[in-house]
Amino acid sequence: MPIEAGTHTIGPSNGSLKIKTGREGAAAKMGHDLVLGVGSWEATVEGGDSPSFSLTADPGSIEVLEGSGGAKPLSDKDKGDIKKSIAGKVLGSSQITFSSSAVEDNGANMTAKGDLDIAGKSVPVTVPLSANGGKLSGSVKLSQSDFSIKQFSAMMGALKVKDSVEVVVEGQVPTS
């Protein structure tokens, strides 16, 4: 089901942008696999003969939505410390942006190729997207090291966030 021709905006009011992290290291059992939500973001989808996809996100708006595993549940203080580390040490304050340079549209499935800018570094990525029943969704695995992001670690490196994270975007768009 192709996306309706025209410009469509997705954001927190009609979609979600999430980051899923894992943990590794000798003390991995102590940490948590996290699902992070981005509170301030906007994606623009252009449907029709010249499809395009772009996204901007504020790293300072990232919040912990849930944490699984770990020796103890995440407290509100833990969540606040994680938010502070993400904005201060991991991602900084530069906006995260993606802008497609080419989009292959096969009706219900699209592939957006372009540059993703995170923490001041731009890397070419390919984002598979699907449109089904008015819902646009996409997921891409990223390596933090590709963006020169040092994996967050604790306990003298015995607990680390895995280098690979998954970014998931979903939102409502009109389909034809």
- Please report the sign of the dihedral spanned by the C-alpha atoms of residue 131, residue 22, residue 165, residue 15: positive
* pLDDT band of 176, cuts 50, 70, 90: low
Q: CA-to-CA distance for 62 and 73, rounded, in angstroms?
A: 19
Matching residue, tokens 């770990």: 70
> Which backbone phi and psi does 84 adopt, to 5 degrees?
-65, -40
- Please report the sign of the dihedral spanned by the C-alpha atoms of residue 131, residue 104, residue 11, residue 75: positive
Q: Is the pTM of the predicted complex or chain greater than 0.85?
A: yes
Residue 121, pLDDT above cutoff 70: yes
CB atoms under 10 Å from CB of 44, counted, come to 16
Q: In the chain, what are the domains?
A: 6-172 (2.40.128.110)
* Residue 125: burial class (beta carbons within 10 Å; 0-12, 13-18, 19+): middle
Q: 3-class SS at 75?
A: coil
* pLDDT band of 3, cuts 50, 70, 90: confident
Instruction: Name the residue with higher pLDDT: 37 or 90.
Output: 37
* pLDDT band of 85, cuts 50, 70, 90: confident
